[in-house]
Structure 1
Amino acid sequence: MTSVTTGEAGNAAAGRWQLPDTLILIFIVGLLAAGLTYLVPAGSFQSQEITEVVAGIETTRSVIDPASFAYATNDDGSLQYHRVALFEGGGGVGFLNFPFEGLVSGSKWGSAIGVIMFMLIIGGAFGVVMRTGTIDNGILRLIDKTQGNEALFIPVMFALFSLGGAVFGMGEEAVAFAIIILPLMIRLGYDGITTVMVTYVATQVGFAASWMNPFSVAVAQGVAGIPVLSGSGLRIVLWFGFTAVGIAFTMHYARGVQREPTRSYSYHSDAFMREQPMAELDNSRWNLGDNLVLLTVIGTLVWVIWGVVSEGWYIPEIASQFFTMGLVAGIIGVLFRLNDMRMNDIADAFKEGAGIMLPAALLVGCAKGILLLLGGADSAEPSVLNSILNSAAGTIGGLPDVLSAWFMLTFQSVFNFFVTSGSGQAALTMPLMAPLADLVGVSRQVAVLAFQLGDGFTNVIVPTSASLMATLGVCRVDWGDWARFAWRFVALLFVLSSITVVLAQLLGYQ
């Protein structure tokens, strides 16, 4: 995609230089990952069982034994390198295999194939909802009823999504909300970037600063051997603080875009939404059919939140819930002839909505392929990733306590590029970081804090995050344009996180 700044200067700059497409960037990272397999020998850990109590329920979890690391060796005792070939047959992972292998990896419960199918289903379902015209007409009425108070949309939505991330680990669910909110943002004079900020990014701010997230804080504390959900007082303060920073940053950017639309980093990609015809309020339609479609959407969102919080539902169930929403909305649209819908229009809208998600789905699969090039995230299987993890732990262990705490944050931020799952990263890194913290005089609570801040905030920018790429996909924002905007926010969060971790260590946070 071309680089976009403001006015004619931006157009001239775009003519001189093009930012590489996200797929090109992922290909380059894949090339570097393949190169590492020639330089770093493969290693593995043994696992051990730990027991933790969360909300009065005792569970057993398998984690790595930090003292069990060993490099894989050949029969002659030499170090074993799992060098990636240019091409690998028999279902292996060679460099030219990594896009396909990444796309088909995982299961319906997660990355990558499950996430990709999830994206296609919800894209299709909301394509049907948008075809009815109810969302467009509803936006017109919402704007009319809230004239003079539009500025409240951003702080209210950011705070609510951040709370969702803090309480129940909201992330993938933000994709569906972004589809609904994007037309509203464009209509208010904002852009796709603002939509991503108030939905997905807000969830990750809450996720990182959470005091009770069962998928990050609870897991990390259980693995570290400290009371689950302890130290919540400081984390609640951090949630308010980081959420306020996110709101202020988003408001500053959004107001600038509202005053001068060409300042938007997604100005060119937002053209699609700006060019979509939207009736004026006086000519817009609203009838019983629209009420039923709106109730269907709201009911589905409530159903999803209830299922996630109360029943522990995840990707398969959520995808089915949104498919149901699309089906019901399509039938209502046909029965009430909303936008003159017919049966075939349901199928066409579903295919068009799913098609919009395909570019982001490809990026999710290719990003997963990079992890496969490094040997995967299985600690028991010899891999380059395990060796990198062990070496990082050894490096941190030789530093003073405050510097060690800061390097824990830095390491977790970098490691999140390879393992974006909060619970997965906790299971891999905390068994090493917790005893390491004891050795260098860092509080285990601080080690957990470094984990959650490093894990959560870098989800805002790493292209290996399936939820980020899905949200960018539905908002039609290229990752390169997003990175040009988001790096400042990520840098600000990292500076604030560094100050937080250092102060927590100096003040003896337990």
Structure 2
Amino acid sequence: MSDQRSRFKVPNTLIILLFAALLIAIVVPWVSAGYFEKGLPISLQSFRVAEHNISISMFASGKEIGFLNAPFEGMTSGSRSGSAIGVIAFILLVGGAFGVINATGAVDRGLLRLMVITGNHPRLLLGTLFAAFAAGGAVFGMGEETIAFLALLLPLILRLGYPPEVGVMITYVASQIGFGTSWMNPFGVALAQGIANVPLLSGAPLRIAMFLVFVSAGIAFTLWYAQRHRKQAEASIDGQIVVPIETSPLAFADRLILGGIVGTIIWIVWGVVAAGYFIPEIATQFVTLCFFSAIVAILAKRLTADAAAEAFVGGAQQLVSAVMVISLAKGIEYLLGGANPHVPSVLNTFLHSMGSMLETWPPLWAAQGMLAVQTAFTFVIHSGSAQAAINMPLMSGLSDLVGVTRQTAVLAYQLGNAMANMSVPTGAILMASLGVAGVPWTRWFGIIWRFQLLILLMSMAMVAIAVMIGYT
């Protein structure tokens, strides 16, 4: 059964979006367009049905709407301070910065050194690594990178007598908890906030507290499971001798770069909270970190100037797919007639229909419904950036109708996407991680479902708290 699941391949996100766009282009002309009357609060009572439906052709010019126009229209929508233009520029610059930072090797050496320092204290090692990968998910949006680290850590995990699934917990699961509770991840919360027109990286205090609580719960579960299933460490695995991982102390360059990362995080938090920094300033802060890391690496003779430039381009290239996802997702919004509440669109009609369904629900339950929708959607779309681009235009508008803040809608997106990714069998990164660890999905689900239930209840509690405090 596990072999059959491992061969199952979910179509590329762009293919899913393309077919969604095609379906929408076919359906939209048959659905009444609507708008919310100007001069009145956006509510169910201010909704009006337009006189004419939206017409969509295959190719359009001027102000007409065309199916083949959707990618370009989506990519060029918005402004430098929001989606899509500003967010796309932000993602490319941050991706390039991360490419340079990764090329210096400082992060890898830091993690290896951490393993050596805590190696004689296995529980401390597991807890520290879990926290480190959770921080990676929160700050860098770490996901695919955990597969390589899992392969590196697995011999040590087995050497200590722990089952291989513990390695999946301290790498992949930790990164997903970090992603779901992040206060600054540019590919998750920042992207969703930009699309929802919420101040970038706002609401950080609650998210930082949530990060600490969720990570503590993850560490507690991992240590409980690891200790319960630990066996006598064996000298060999599959006939091969397993040796402890060794590394030299961190070089001065490593310390400078890691210190620069920490300093930049502090600078960004200060800038957002105290100085009102937004997308242009935050992107420039990451560029500054990129220059600093590159200069240190060049002086330490780890990179040449050309290699640093190539690493920047390579890091940005890795996020071109995310850029195209955002463009096509915003193109779908264009096919629906746009997100302007005062201009006739099918999106406004959808918002009115969902709002009518939820109008009798108190905001507390409406927010839980948003969390449920985001969680269920993860079975089809696993990418955090893709789900933000597809769902946030609808969810942010819906939040206005049912009396829930847009910040709470972003929180529901975060928690629903990341937490479901810990167990859904259609997730490529999860299945790859389980493949590296040699753990069948059926066994994994039998292990993780208790923790998944706990995290779900904690997520529901956090969304409820956000509603009660009017989270902004």
Q: Are residues 323 and 143 of structure 1, via their aligned partners in 2, closer, same or farther at CA, if it must alter by over 3 Å?
A: same
* Range with bigger deviation, 193-202 or 242-251: 242-251
Give me the whole-angstrom Cα distance separating, in 1, the residues matched to 2:259 and 2:271. 18
Flag structure 1 segments of 5+ consecutive residues without an equivalent: 1-8, 50-62, 74-79, 162-170, 207-213, 220-228, 260-278, 435-446, 463-467, 473-477
Alignment match of 2:334 (pick from 361, 369, 372): 372
Give the 3-state SS of the residue equivalent to 1:44 in structure 2: strand
2:48 matched to 1:70? yes
- Inter-CA distance 204–81: structure 2 relative to 1 (3 Å threshold): farther
Q: 1:344 to 1:500 in 2, by over 3 A?
A: closer
Correspondences of 1:345-424 after superposition (within 5 Å):
345-397=307-359, 406=365, 409-410=368-369, 414=373
Aligned partner of 1:37 among 28, 47, 50: 28
Q: Report the CA distance shift for 1:121/1:92 in structure 2 as closer, same or farther (over 3 A).
A: farther
Between 1:294-303 and 1:485-494, the stretch displaced more is 485-494
> 1:411 deviation in Å?
5.7
Residue of structure 1 in register with 2:238 after alignment: none
Change (3 A) 1:118 1:97: same
Look up the match of 2:157. none
The alignment status of 1:141 with 2:113, answered yes or no, reads yes
Which one of 24, 28, 31 corresponds to residue 19 of structure 2?
Answer: 28
Cα 1:182–1:321 change in 2 (3 A) is: farther
Go from structure 1 to structure 2 and tell me whether the alpha carbon gap of 1:203 and 1:500 turns closer, same or farther (over 3 Å shift): closer
**Per-residue deviation, 1:71:** 0.9
Change (3 A) 1:71 1:158: farther
Pick one of 294, 307, 320 that aligns with 1:330.
Answer: 294
Match of 1:174 in 2: 139
Alpha-carbon distance in 2 for matches of 1:135, 1:498: 34
> Which residue does 2:379 correspond to in 1?
none
**What residue number does 2:176 align with?**
197
CA-based RMSD of the aligned residues comes to: 5.0
Cα distance, 1:410–1:86 mapped onto 2, change above 3 Å:
farther
Deviation digits for residues 410-456 of structure 1 (CA, Å, limit 9, x no counterpart): 2676599777559x955x3455324xxxxxxxxxxxx66xx776652
Q: What is the match of residue 100 of structure 1? A: 72
Deviation at 1:45, TM superposition (A): 0.8
Aligned to 1:18: 9
In the TM superposition, what is the alpha-carbon distance from 1:321 to its structure 2 partner? Answer: 1.0
Aligned equivalents of 2:179, 2:350: Cα separation in 1: 30
Moved more, 33-42 or 479-488: 479-488
The CA distance in 1 between the partners of 2:65 and 2:223, in whole Å, is 45
Counterpart of 1:364, as a letter, is I
Deviation at 1:97, TM superposition (A): 2.0
2-structure distance, mates of 1:421, 1:71: 23
Could you tell me which amino acid in structure 2 is paired with residue 374 of structure 1? L
Structure 2: how far apart are the matches of 1:174 and 1:380?
A: 37
The total of aligned residue pairs comes to 392
TM-score, scaled relative to structure 1:
0.61
User: How big is the shift at 1:177?
Assistant: 6.6
Q: Distance in 2 between matches of 1:490 and 1:39?
A: 41
Which one of 272, 275, 284 corresponds to residue 311 of structure 1? 275
Q: Are the equivalent residues in 2 in contact too, given 1:108–1:316 (CA < 8 A)?
A: yes
Structure 2 vs 1, CA of residues 300 and 92 (structure 1 numbering), >3 Å: closer, same or farther? farther
CA distance 1:186–1:312, shift in 2 (3 Å): farther
The answer as to whether partners of 1:296 and 1:325 remain within 8 angstroms in 2 is yes
Structure 1 residue 125: deviation in Å? 1.3
